[in-house]
Structures are given as structure tokens and as C-alpha cells.
Amino acid sequence: MTGWLAWIGWGLFLLALIILFIQQRRHINFRMSLSAYAKWLLLDDEIRNNHKDKFINFLQNEKLHDDQDLLFLMSDRAIEEMAISLKEAGSLLTVQEMMRKYIQN
């Protein structure tokens, strides 16, 4: 009986390690997309102005002016979604190319 308990224990330990690995990988990918988004905004004025206008429109059109905490959280989510969409469009390579262009000039 103790043999089975040991196998179950090791199985649960392995499962916990796999879950931890998946969470760490998602966190790293998310941080990379936010970093690329910030660099993209710093390097390209046209995109920065476009996203600034969209964000201001989001704040003005949102009906949550009384609940500032919820508005703050929703604005964070909007920025995260912009970063994720930029990552899905291949922004990591584009940002690297933009950085090379500025280094060479």
C-alpha cells in the first residue's frame, strides 16, 4: 500500500512542477509582450499618438467615472490587450529591427 502512496505522491509532485512551469512561461511571455509594447511606443511617434487617442477615447466613453478603482483596472486591461495584440502581430521582431535602426543612425 505504501508503494502506491509513493507513486501518487511523486505524480502529484510532477503535476505541480508542470503547472509551475506553464505559469512561469505564461508570465515571461506576458512580460515580454509588455516590454515590446513599451519599446514600440517609445520608438514610434505615430503609433504612440494613435494609442494615446484611443486610450483617451476609452476613458471618456467609459461609464464608470464614479468608480475610479474599477476604471483604473479596466484601463490596465485595455493596455494589456493592446500589448497582447501587438505581440500576436509579430512585434518582438519589429521592435528589435526598430532598435537596430536607431542604433545604426
Distance from C-alpha of 3 to C-alpha of 5, rounded to nearest angstrom: 5
Segment 17-57, tens digit of pLDDT:
999 999 999 888 778 777 777 777 766 677 777 777 877 77
Q: Which residue has the higher pLDDT, 46 or 92?
A: 46
Name every residue whose Cβ is closer than 8 Å to that of residue 32 and which is 6 or more positions away in sequence: 87, 92
The full DSSP string for 37-68 is HHHHHHH-HHHHHHHHHHHHHHHHH-S-TT-H
What would the mean pLDDT of 58-84 be, rounded to a whole number? 72
Distance from C-alpha of 44 to C-alpha of 81, rounded to nearest angstrom: 19
Closest CA to 35 of 85, 77, 87: 87
